[in-house]
Amino acid sequence: MRLHGYLDKGASLGGDAPCLTIGDVYQTYAEVQQRSRTIAGALQDSGIGPGDRVAVLSANDPLALTCVFGTSRAGAVWCPVNPRNEAAENRELLDLFGCRCLFFQAKFAPLVERIRGDLPALTTLVCLDGEVDGAVTFDEWLAAHGREPDLVTLPDDLCVLAGTGGTTGKPKGVRLTGHNLETATALTLMSYPFGERPRYLALAPLTHSAGVLTFPIMALGGETVIMPAPDLGEFLRLIEHHRITHAFLPPTVIYGLLDHPALDSTDLTSLRCLWYGAAPMSPVRLTEALHRIGPVMGQLFGQTEAPNMIATLAPADHFLPDGSIATARLSSAGRPTPLTQVAIMAADGALLPPGERGEIVVRGPLVMAGYHENPAATAEVSAHGWHHTGDIGYLDEDNFLYIVDRAKDMIITGGFNVYSAEVEKALQAHPAVQDSAVVGLPDEKWGERVAAVVQLRAAGQADPDALIAFVKEHLGSVKAPKQVEIWPDLPRSKVGKVLKTEIRQRLRP
């Protein structure tokens, strides 16, 4: 199934049902489906054929998402572009992908102007919501070219080219097939609670996990309520107003939600699943969320190369059979999903038994078709016949997966291995701490010393010495930070992940 197949499936369950909503205005499945057909015909009339690359640069927006389905219907490949990227990174990715068409919102015109001159293959620029020099407006483009699309014969199953995070090194292009996303959709429907016609609230960027999660919603004929900008007060209002059943938020945003004054007075009884992922979540704050938001928290673990569904911790898995919270399990990423094999591998390629730590490796139909035009990187990440996630972890006797750290973030101090994620969890157990990041810094005595940067809660108070003593009490002196700094916020990537490279640079003398 290609991307527009999910839209068509939803339309087959009732064309008059709400499909995409923004504010109080919704478009039906039949309306979105017909608009996607017209976009597909216009792309074909503009010379965009099967296998060609089409990029979409936009904040969360119904028309931008409809362009994704039109791109798929034309047989072209969707290239999601994160508007938070630096211009150089976006230019590099669009050049790597050989994009021929770019849909964009007018507010990103300065970014487009900075990159378009270096992209000779980019011949069709369409502004979705205004007039911009060098681009055609969406309405003019559709009026000149819009028609019913021709049926296409596809060269392969490739449907998405996505850039990796780019927080370290040169970004790569991930080749995702229709089979990859079909697997992710099936696993989502298998792993979490759904009913008839779910209602999904999209606050996080649709260019990432939040976008992939629209496919299972549409497969059930559900409604996607789109937030054009993040606003936690509006997020809570929309849950109550639209009786939202599903949503996705990164942990840092959930922390903000827990601190929001309107949380406890908002009716959240419609929620069936609030997904969290993209970064580790503090077990202390997760416990708080289970009490205050409800027994609806659902973790997903994946990466661009194996989207969302490597392992899952469904809402019911957060509890023991007697109804109490499964406290020890809250630190896990859940169990491997039914169509995915997960193992722990030593450096020599040997698979390790339960309880032993090594690199988390994955194989199955969820895993990408390789890095675009980068056979060396593809071969490296596929060594020994498994996809290497770059995460260090272990499987316990009950097959729950625990992520200990990113391989590159392990600290060797005085000959001992210290996993930064373990120290971060200890810091985040302190009642004054909102978030933390732990890195290794060069040290003449220890080789590396453990250093931490902490962001306090709004009303939190703690000094560095008290935080060091707190970790020492819980983890011992070897793992306790030798240095703690308190910052108002932590530097983050476009998708909310902490930028440890930047933290190291700022901490080094």
Is 297 contained in some domain?
A: no
Give start and end residues of each alpha helix (H) in 157-246: 178-191, 209-212, 214-219, 232-242
Question: Which residue's entry shows tokens 């200890």?
Answer: 426
Domain boundary among 152, 178, 204: 178
Q: What is the DSSP string of 76-131?
A: -EEEEE-TTS-HHHHHHHHHHHTEEEEEE-GGGHHHHHHHHTT-TT--EEEESSS-
Query: Measuring CA to CA, which residue among 488, 431, 82, 494 is closest to residue 278?
Result: 494
Question: Which residue's entry shows tokens 């929620």?
Answer: 271
- Taking CA 13 as the corner, what is the angle to CA 11 and CA 16, rounded to the nearest 5 degrees? 60
Determine the structural domain holding residue 142 and report its residue range. Answer: 27-178
Condensed to tens digits (0 to 9), the pLDDT of residues 431-466 reads 999 999 999 998 877 878 999 999 999 888 899 999
Whole-prediction pTM: 0.86
Number of structural domains (the chain) is: 2
Give start and end residues of each alpha helix (H) in 267-307: 283-292
Is 13 contained in some domain?
A: no
CB 172 within 8 A of CB 371: yes
- List, in order, residues 6 or more apart from 339 with CB less than 8 Å away: 183, 186, 187, 364, 365, 366
Q: Which amino acid is at 95?
A: D
CATH of the domain at 109: 3.40.50.980
Cβ burial, residue 330 (10 Å; 0-12/13-18/19+): buried
Query: Measuring CA to CA, which residue among 453, 419, 449 is closest to residue 436?
Result: 453
Tokens of 437: 């990041």
pLDDT of residue 493: 74
Domain boundary among 178, 207, 230: 178
Is 484 contained in some domain?
A: yes
Tokens of 218: 């549409």
- List, in order, residues 6 or more apart from 496 with CB less than 8 Å away: 250, 252, 253, 278, 279
Question: Phi then psi for 228, rounded to 5 degrees?
Answer: -70, -20
Strands 297-303 and 273-276 turn out to be parallel
Distance of CA 426 to the CA centre of its chain: 25
Query: Measuring CA to CA, which residue among 184, 211, 205 is closest to residue 309?
Result: 184
Question: Phi then psi for 354, rounded to 5 degrees?
Answer: -55, 140
Helix (H, G, I), strand (E, B) or coil at 227: coil
Is 406 contained in some domain?
A: no
Q: Which amino acid is at 487?
A: W
The DSSP bridge partners found for residue 437 are: 453
pLDDT of residue 169: 56
pLDDT (tens place) for every residue of the chain, 509 residues total: 899 999 999 999 999 999 999 988 999 999 999 999 999 999 999 999 999 999 999 999 999 999 999 999 999 999 999 887 778 888 999 999 999 999 999 999 999 999 998 899 999 999 999 999 999 999 999 999 988 999 888 889 999 999 985 444 577 999 999 999 999 999 999 999 999 899 999 998 898 888 999 999 999 999 999 999 999 999 999 999 999 999 999 888 898 999 999 999 999 999 999 999 977 788 989 999 999 999 999 999 999 999 999 999 999 999 999 999 999 999 999 999 999 999 999 999 999 999 999 999 999 999 999 999 999 999 999 999 999 999 999 999 999 999 988 777 888 887 777 888 889 989 999 999 999 999 999 887 787 899 999 999 988 889 999 999 999 988 888 889 999 999 999 998 766 778 888 998 899 87
Tokens of 149: 């699309």
The span from the CA of 207 to the CA of 55, in Å, is 11
Helix axes 283-292, 251-258, angle to 10 degrees: 50
The span from the CA of 247 to the CA of 253, in Å, is 12
The span from the CA of 137 to the CA of 321, in Å, is 57
Tokens of 140: 């003019």
Question: Which residue's entry shows tokens 């990113």?
Answer: 406
pLDDT of residue 173: 95
Domain boundary among 178, 200, 225: 178
Count, residues in the chain: 509
Is 91 contained in some domain?
A: yes
Is 380 contained in some domain?
A: no
Is 196 contained in some domain?
A: no
The span from the CA of 314 to the CA of 199, in Å, is 18
Query: CA 96 → CA 109, 301, 385, distances in Å?
Result: 21, 27, 26
CATH of the domain at 435: 3.30.300.30
Is 90 contained in some domain?
A: yes
The b-or-e profile of 360-371 (16+ CB within 10 A means b, else e) is bbbbbebbbbbb
pLDDT of residue 209: 80
Helix (H, G, I), strand (E, B) or coil at 223: strand
The span from the CA of 18 to the CA of 214, in Å, is 13
The span from the CA of 435 to the CA of 428, in Å, is 6
DSSP state, residue 317: G
- Taking CA 206 as the corner, what is the angle to CA 205 and CA 212, rounded to the nearest 5 degrees? 130
pLDDT of residue 167: 45
